[in-house]
Amino acid sequence: MDFEKVYRAYFGDVYRYLLKLTGDEHTAEELTAETFWRAIKNLDRFRGESELRVWLCGIGKNCWKDMLRRRSRESPLEIRDDTPSDADIERELDEREDTREIYRLLHALPEPYREVFSLRVLGELGFSEIGQLFGKTANWACVTYHRAKEKIRAGMADRERSE
């Protein structure tokens, strides 16, 4: 396998996926480089059970998780002059809680809903690309994505009713 061709072919996909995860161009660039470095070191572990793009994005996701773990251990408390108001803090906590709940609901989804939703939202893949990954049609991918989204919405609605 010519790794330079792989790098050229999939760099953009991996970078966009990591940019979506991190929300920061510099961090996404660093993680993309780390992803391809790990891929080179572990190329013998690629069994071809998934598309190469999916395998690379999986490595990227692991790099991102490793970075988050490192940062949580290393970052000291910051003292800031622009202290947010109580309302800002409450709103941010609510948004974080919603995000955690969405991720919890996403991870509780059965396959293929979880993977299709992740590829669409986090990986920014089109329905035709997702369909190809599963050996299905773009219409199948679209329907599966919307069903996953509805399951997550229903879970969020159940949470709000129980509060």
pLDDT score, position 144: 92
Residue spans of the domains in the chain: they are 1-75, 101-163
pLDDT score, position 79: 46
Domain 1-75 architecture: Orthogonal Bundle (1.10)
Among the CATH numbers 2.40.110.10, 1.10.10.10, 1.10.486.10, 1.10.150.120, which is that of 101-163?
1.10.10.10
pTM attached to this predicted model:
0.46
pLDDT mean values, one per 10 residues, the chain (163 residues): 80 89 88 89 79 86 88 61 55 71 86 89 83 89 91 85 74
pLDDT score, position 10: 87
User: What string of DSSP letters covers the chain?
Assistant: --HHHHHHHHHHHHHHHHHHHHS-HHHHHHHHHHHHHHHHHTGGG--SSS-HHHHHHHHHHHHHHHHHHHHHHHPPPPP-SSPPPHHHHHHHHHHHHHHHHHHHHHHHSPTTHHHHHHHHHTS---HHHHHHHHTS-HHHHHHHHHHHHHHHHHHHHHHHHH-
